Amino acid sequence: MAPFPVRAITLDLDDTLWPIAPVVLRAETVLGQWLRRHAPRTAERFPLEAMRALRDEVAREHPHLAHDFTRQRMISLERMLAAAGDDVALAQPAFDAFFAARCDVVHYDDTVDALDRLAARVPLAALSNGNADLVRIGLMDRFAFQLGAREHGAAKPDPSIFHAACARLDVPPAHVLHVGDDIEMDVVGAHRAGLRSCWINRDGRTWPHAALRPDLEFTDLAALADWLDAALQTDNAAA
């Protein structure tokens, strides 16, 4: 792959730095355990599948909150507690228990070393539709900032969140590389916003679009770090 100018990188989080499905399962399990201790009527009425069904119902009812997973979860908890006759004020400590577990992630094996290598080369910014907290997770020192859809007010693939990140980086979109696993949210979204794109394709999926392709495709972040090392060495040699 021919090198191109990269002055900053924006990175997706869930399923790019760590697998999200086991994290959510653990967090929901922790939430269920918390409810059994503090709101047993709610726990009995809303086992895991019922909890998930209500969460999906809330998402459908509130499309304007598609960028705000925290608020969706809080609405679900308030509704569960009220339906079971428990104190709705328990929604906040219940969410706190859930969120602590949600931030207890297990990184892909390549993540930390690759982030260290990338951050040594160019500024990194986290750009996520999820609500993971990099301070809690312990990765914030690798990043210039974290911009979430909830804080921004719109989610990927909306161009505005990409442009907001570029503005904070003070780098034109054409010189920013966005890295992520999601075909539509990350790759197509970045392309339409004028950024370069890197698809992290860990599971061998087939690219579905004929009209556009990612600028880069790798199976992990280590390969991206290798590419960036080589690209910057080429730039330095040319200079």
Q: Which residues carry out catalysis?
A: 12
Q: How far is CA 25 from CA 17, 75, 228, 238, in A?
A: 17, 19, 34, 49
What gap in Å lies between CA 13 and CA 119, rounded to an integer?
A: 15
What gap in Å lies between CA 103 and CA 96, rounded to an integer?
A: 11
Instruction: Collect all residues with Cβ–Cβ distance below 8 Å to 187 and sequence separation of at least 6.
Output: 178, 180, 197, 199, 214
Instruction: Collect all residues with Cβ–Cβ distance below 8 Å to 239 and sequence separation of at least 6.
Output: none
